[in-house]
Amino acid sequence: MKNSVLKFGGTSVGDFEKIKDIAQSLKDRTILGEKLIVVVSAMGGTTDELLSNVNRLSPAPKDDHIALLVTTGEQQTISYLSIVLEELGVRTKAMTGFQAGIKTFGGHMKSRIADIDRACLVSALEEHDVIVVAGFQGINEDNEITTLGRGGSDTTAVAIAASCNMPCEIYTDVEGVYATDPRVYKKAKRIYDISYDEMMEMSALGAGVLETRSIEIAKNHSIPIYLGKTLSDEKGTWIMQETEVLERKAVTGAALDEDIIHATVYEPEVDSTLIFDLFKRFEEEEINVDMISQAVGSEGFQLSFTVKDTESNRLDQIFAETQMMHPDMVLTRHTDYAKVSIIGSGMRDMSGVASKAFMALNEAGIKFYQTTTSEISISYVVDKNHGENAVETLATAFGL
């Protein structure tokens, strides 16, 4: 008997008609002998509405209170879907993250999965045809409800698939992974198979198709992920081991991230502890720092980096604290920049990619202020109003 983990995002369960259609498709699969663990997000817009309500009540609510509230969105969805499935005659059990044995650690709003009670899920699946699990949530060592942060339902689904050794299918409102955002570059091609490393890099660099942690879990446990459009016959994308990808290209995709803050700090004292003090606070506040580059000279050192613009308030606070400790520090901060990246595992073995990208941007008259590289990616900081043009320029240059 085949068992699979399926995940449906917020737009896929956005109204009752969609939930009914999904329930019927799940029933059809159980008739063929499958048993399914189905992870769902909150109905589209629910979480934003709950957070809006919070803003009307308090300017600074505690994270444990917010986590308790926002996880009710997923609990509504598991209830609705389970009710419809039972009406269709499908043996169904709905489970919150706590009931599914999803144990977490870390902050209430950005927890990570420590363990999943596999026996709990397997036992439930023996007595039911479909288990409907609330995504995005778990419970910590103090028995408090936590959330897994952005893309948490993806992480829930893949972690369950890894724990139960099942394939994972993720359904959303797009047909699969594209070489770049079709809304930015209309000629973007769909990718039918892509490696874990390439997908992780694309997600981390702004292609918000899947949450990076979910792909990392899949890679660590060799769990193939299928990404496709909900209830569509269109062929989607398989995310898998690099050795199984049919075609390796120098550049597989391009990503644009307009939601960044670009900061540069200058310190005239070369032996200053500024960098240590700054990054210690970033670690304490769990702020992810990207695109780090440093230049050191006889007149001091300069450090440039990017962070997500959602960290703006905490970043300002950290800069203010650091300025008090290092009064000679000079800070520049830009919110009018964007990050443009090209990604491809073929870069490991193929030369000339960086020069081709540089020439393409230069010929298009696009200035960049910082560039960083990894083994399979190159990223540029450009003016935000040139971001989409930069993506189109690079996509054209590399045939994406």
Sheet holding 290-297, edge to edge: 290-297, 300-308, 260-267, 330-334
Q: Rounded to whole angstroms, how far apart are CA atoms 14 and 87? A: 20
- Tens digits of per-residue pLDDT, 77-109? 999 999 999 999 999 999 999 999 999 998 898
What is the per-residue pLDDT for 246? 53
Instruction: Provide the pLDDT for residue 244.
Output: 53
In CATH terms, 3-173 corresponds, of 3.40.1160.10, 2.60.120.10, 3.40.50.920, 3.40.50.2020, to 3.40.1160.10
List the chain residues with pLDDT less than 70: 1, 206-208, 242-248, 298
Over its C-alpha atoms, the chain yields an Rg (Å, rounded) of: 23
Predicted pLDDT at 245: 55
- Please state, as a whole number, how many other Cβ atoms lie within 10 Å of the Cβ of residue 69: 16
Instruction: Report the pLDDT value the prediction gives residue 223, as an integer from 0 to 100.
Output: 92
Domain boundaries, the chain: 3-173
What pLDDT, on the 0 to 100 scale, is given for residue 150?
77
**pLDDT confidence of residue 113:** 93
Model-level pTM? 0.82
Alpha carbon distance 106, 179 (integer Å): 34
The string of pLDDT tens digits covering residues 336-389 is 888 998 888 878 777 788 888 888 888 888 988 888 888 888 889 888 899 889
